[in-house]
Structure 1
Amino acid sequence: MSRSPLKVGVVGAGIGRHHLAGYRALPDDVEVVALCDTNEARLNEIGSMYNVPRYFTDYNELFASGEIEAVSVCLPNSLHAPVSIAALEAGLHVLCEKPLAENLASGQKIATAAAQASGKFMICFNRRYRLDVQWMKQALSEGLLGRVYHVKAGWIRETGIPGWGGWFLNKDIAGGGPLIDLGVHILDAVMWLLDYPAPLTVTGATQANFGPHSAKTWQASPTPPPYTVEDSATAYIRLSGDVTLNLETSWASHARPGMDDFFITLMGTEGTLELYVANYATENTLTLYTEVAGKPVVTRPAVKVSRSDHEYAIAEFVKCIKEDTPPTASVEQGLTIMQMIEAIYQSAAVGREVVLT
């Protein structure tokens, strides 16, 4: 295990600030050397906030500098592939923000590059590292639920259509709307909890009821960009092992004011375990339903999330590099999630079930 601090850089100062905070939480293991962003005002602002010594506006110059060993790629989805591949070809370890890419084809290019690279590649599926989700995994491994046969999961916002520069609303750049933005987190967490079973069939539907009218938007603009993605998506997915999954995601809906909630309910033959996180709550998120002596029992596990899930994910990335172990959020898992997301969009477009296996 390497004892010297890992020299890291961050490309993208938007969501990248969460990565900077995560690395800053590991002062004995990490040295943040550089920040890269094409927006010089934001570069200077965020760089100063986190005391980053070196600034770059060209990621190729950063990768060629020899100053870093690892990099976080925190850019719009369509840039994940070219920037991650460039980093891997430069011999760097890569932590790429979710989703793997804007579509499956771009994700496969990353997978090919990762297979040929000396550096490690990990996806920032940060929600799975929350302590409450980790507790769910332990409960499953101990057989508390018996055989899980059905899952209900989703992420619902009342007002939450992004307005950051407009790229979230552009299908060519983002790949989609809340399904690929929020649903990707939920799909990964569910699949990870279930040991990544094979997806068999997908039926999906998407709608855009608010975004085209500039309704329920964060940071609304007087001249909003074209809206080419969905603002809600639902899916019914059959998984191997005789498991079914109902998924729903939305950026906008008529719901509790300010609602920004995600949930996973695992229904098993011996019990049901529910995660419900209202507005990023850090405690009182878990409920276990079972029976004792023929009577219903409700248990509220006392699990508290003590830090941000980005911090947990980044700590895992650094650990994998330091201990030379395979990344736990692998490119192969990222490809599976992209396959599922693409199938949901395909099913919505053709109006029928899509068979994957």
Structure 2
Amino acid sequence: MGTGWVANQHMAGARSVAAHDLEVTAACDPRRDVLDDFCDRHGIGARFASAGELISSGTVDAVVLLTPPAVRHEVIDPALEHGLHVLVEKPFGENGHDAVTFTESAEAAGVTMAVSQNFRWFPEYAWLSDRLGRTDAGGIAFVEARTFQNRPQAPGAWRAEETKLEMAIFSVHLIDRVRWIARTPPVSVRAVTRRRRGSSLRGEQFSSLLIEFAGGAVGTVTSSWTSRTLPVNTFRVDTDLGSASVERTAPMSGDATGTAHFGAEPERLTFAETQPGEHAALSYGSSLREFAVAIAERRTPQHSARDNLQTMGIMEAAYRSAARGGTPVTIEEALYGHVAYA
């Protein structure tokens, strides 16, 4: 549902990594020209102009929701009523209240809901998570995510009208990575946000967060769309016994490297792309495959809606903190008292 740019990324993964686990049989978009172009390119026969038509058609078991956050309710609610499983693009709600509501509604309906936090499946992060899980790595004390890129938002697109911009569109991925790697529930957040000087956009283009986790670990997220040169995309973890880091120049393309130093000598790896976009397709496809396989095995996917409440809680707390001049906001407040972990 929604056949814009990100739908093509999902299709690349669906036709490669997840090809044996799911079949894309229908697509939906009110923009007929965009819908036809997408379906013609990918060989999809069933085409629908509205979410209601697709949901009630009986042609699918699950939907992948790629619409802007503002129209989540009008798709998720009827999908759950019809017993359809739902994979939602991030952020899966406009705020913490929506996230809690969607999660509880999906669980009450007995269907699987997951959130497309596909950045977890880039190869360097899969390696990092595995490496930190070994006994010689020690307990995690500090996690840092940093991305600096020049990403001006063109006027006219729906994103240009959003009051929640950079953090909701991009650094929600970084937030999810930090809390996934930290492996303990977040407790509170301090944040500041900024716009590019002279920008007419309503939403932020720079975000900086300080996250406190249960058990004492600390995480930081710094993400800028206003860095005109020298792009940077790094992730670092310090533990009781050493450190590990990964990096790539662009967030979604190119070769990546990983370094871990927990013994006498550092371990260094390179994760090379054999063709452009290979790692992005791997990440989207792995997210789709985990969703489909979890449904088939009747288990909870690792990127479930309930799991993603932690990510949504951090993001919501960060927006509230930034609006209050950087004062700390608890995850409990951001999620209206809801328990922020499974």
Superposition TM-score, scaled by structure 2 size: 0.88
Partner deviation per Cα, 1:299-345 (whole Å, 9 max, x = no partner): 21244566421111111112112222211101122222121111111
Structure-2 residue corresponding to 1:24: 15
Structure-2 residue corresponding to 1:212: 199
Aligned counterpart in structure 2 of residue 182 of structure 1, from 151, 170, 174: 170
Aligned counterpart in structure 2 of residue 272 of structure 1, from 220, 238, 243: 243
Residue 268 of structure 2 corresponds to residue 300 of structure 1: yes
CA-CA distance at 1:346 after TM superposition: 1.3
Residue 46 of structure 2 corresponds to residue 71 of structure 1: no
The one-letter amino acid paired with 2:115 is I
Report the more deviating stretch, 27-36 or 126-135: 27-36
> Where do residues 233-248 of structure 1 align in structure 2 (5 Å cutoff)?
233-248=207-222
The one-letter amino acid paired with 1:105 is H
Structure-1 residue corresponding to 2:181: 193
> Where do residues 1-357 of structure 1 align in structure 2 (5 Å cutoff)?
10-25=1-16, 26-158=18-150, 160-163=151-154, 165-171=156-162, 176-195=164-183, 197-210=184-197, 212-213=199-200, 227-256=201-230, 259=231, 261-279=232-250, 280-292=252-264, 297-304=265-272, 307=279, 308=281, 309-351=283-325, 352-356=327-331
CA-CA distance at 1:14 after TM superposition: 3.4
CA-CA distance at 1:165 after TM superposition: 4.1
The one-letter amino acid paired with 2:74 is P
Report the more deviating stretch, 98-107 or 301-310: 301-310
Structure-1 residue corresponding to 2:339: none
SS where residue 55 of structure 2 aligns?
helix
Inter-partner Cα distance in structure 2 for 1:349 and 1:238 = 19
* RMSD over aligned Cα atoms: 2.0
The one-letter amino acid paired with 1:115 is E
Contact 2:3 2:38 in 1 (8 A): no
Inter-partner Cα distance in structure 1 for 2:134 and 2:19 = 35
Inter-partner Cα distance in structure 2 for 1:229 and 1:192 = 26
Inter-partner Cα distance in structure 1 for 2:148 and 2:32 = 34
The one-letter amino acid paired with 2:301 is P
Unaligned runs of 5+ in 1: 1-9, 214-226
The one-letter amino acid paired with 1:169 is A
CA-CA distance at 1:164 after TM superposition: 7.4
Inter-partner Cα distance in structure 2 for 1:147 and 1:29 = 36
Inter-partner Cα distance in structure 1 for 2:258 and 2:319 = 31
The one-letter amino acid paired with 2:105 is A
Inter-partner Cα distance in structure 1 for 2:136 and 2:256 = 19
The one-letter amino acid paired with 2:186 is P
Partner deviation per Cα, 1:107-128 (whole Å, 9 max, x = no partner): 2221121111232111000011
Partner deviation per Cα, 1:244-273 (whole Å, 9 max, x = no partner): 1111112222332xx3x4322001121111
Shift in alpha-carbon separation, 1:182–1:143, aligned structure 2, 3 A: farther
SS where residue 169 of structure 2 aligns?
helix
SS where residue 15 of structure 1 aligns?
helix
The one-letter amino acid paired with 1:354 is V
SS where residue 200 of structure 1 aligns?
strand
Inter-partner Cα distance in structure 2 for 1:56 and 1:67 = 11
Shift in alpha-carbon separation, 1:122–1:171, aligned structure 2, 3 A: same
Inter-partner Cα distance in structure 2 for 1:347 and 1:129 = 30
Inter-partner Cα distance in structure 2 for 1:145 and 1:164 = 46
The one-letter amino acid paired with 2:223 is T
Shift in alpha-carbon separation, 1:87–1:14, aligned structure 2, 3 A: farther
SS where residue 300 of structure 1 aligns?
strand
Contact 2:179 2:310 in 1 (8 A): no
Inter-partner Cα distance in structure 2 for 1:164 and 1:328 = 36
CA-CA distance at 1:211 after TM superposition: 6.6
Partner deviation per Cα, 1:28-62 (whole Å, 9 max, x = no partner): 43222111001111111111000000111101000
The one-letter amino acid paired with 1:199 is P
CA-CA distance at 1:20 after TM superposition: 2.1
Superposition TM-score, scaled by structure 1 size: 0.84
Length, aligned pairs only: 323
Inter-partner Cα distance in structure 2 for 1:185 and 1:245 = 14
Identity %: 24
Inter-partner Cα distance in structure 2 for 1:211 and 1:134 = 39
Inter-partner Cα distance in structure 2 for 1:66 and 1:211 = 50
Inter-partner Cα distance in structure 2 for 1:161 and 1:324 = 42
The one-letter amino acid paired with 2:14 is Y
